[in-house]
Amino acid sequence: MSVIIRPIEQKDKEEWINLWTGPKGYIEFYKSSDKITPEITETTFKRFLDPQNPTYCNIAVNSETGKLIGFATYLTHTNTWALEDSCYLNDLFVSESNRLGGVGRKLIESVYEAADKLGCAKTYWHTQFENHRAQLLYVKVGVKDGFLKYSRPLKK
Ligand SMILES: CC(C)(COP(=O)(O)OP(=O)(O)OC[C@H]1O[C@@H](n2cnc3c(N)ncnc32)[C@H](O)[C@@H]1OP(=O)(O)O)[C@@H](O)C(=O)NCCC(=O)NCCS
């Protein structure tokens, strides 16, 4: 399969929302359909296209069918340990029937390229401990830095 990786555009909205919150999509993968409201989805999509907002999305398109088959979202932020910004890879997803064909790797490489252009010294991301499949890719394109992630408990 031949794949094109490019920044998301307004015309991709419907297909992106389908991969994001649709059946067998990313939010369902995370069992988080109750957390992602239509307002969050709408705002997130708007941010991708807002030049004032450092939130970005690259998509993977099957060049034969023209269908959107995956995406990587990322954002930049300042870092107290560097003069340059850092790049955080927020979401990575390839639709089920298009996995294991190198699309996930291409999406990560596209984020590395974008991070270089945005002047970021570092690109990093998290994954769930039990997401072994993703880690089979991550060990090839990244290094495990030994940090654990903690979060503030949800307010009651
Ligand atoms: C994680 C995910 C993005 C990977 O996408 P993908 O397109 O399948 O990934 P790729 O084909 O580029 O890479 C898979 C790599 O892992 C390796 N791999 C994956 N599964 C493997 C397995 N069962 N056994 C051995 N190697 C495996 C492949 O060999 C490949 O390495 P290569 O590039 O050297 O050939 C995709 O599985 C996905 O969307 N999963 C659901 C959502 C998710 O987990 N997102 C990540 C959240 S942190």
Determine which residue's CA is closest to atom 5 belonging to ligand 1: 104
Q: Which pLDDT band holds residue 155 (cuts at 50, 70, 90)? A: confident
Tokens of residue 1, six digits:
């399969």
Instruction: Quote the pTM value.
Output: 0.96
Residue 134, domain member (yes or no):
yes
Residue 100, domain member (yes or no):
yes
Q: Say whether pLDDT at 156 is over 90.
A: no
If you average pLDDT over every residue of the chain, what do you get? 97
Distance 151 CA to ligand 1 centre (A): 26
Q: Which pLDDT band holds residue 154 (cuts at 50, 70, 90)? A: confident
Measured CA to CA, the distance from residue 128 to residue 12 in angstroms comes to: 28
Which atom of ligand 1 lies closest to the CA of 133?
Answer: 20
Question: pLDDT for 97-138, tens place per residue?
Answer: 999 999 999 999 999 999 999 999 999 999 999 999 999 999
Work out how many domains the chain is built from and give that number. 1
- Strand, helix or coil for residue 59: strand
What's the CATH code of the domain at 49? 3.40.630.30
Distance 77 CA to ligand 1 centre (A): 27
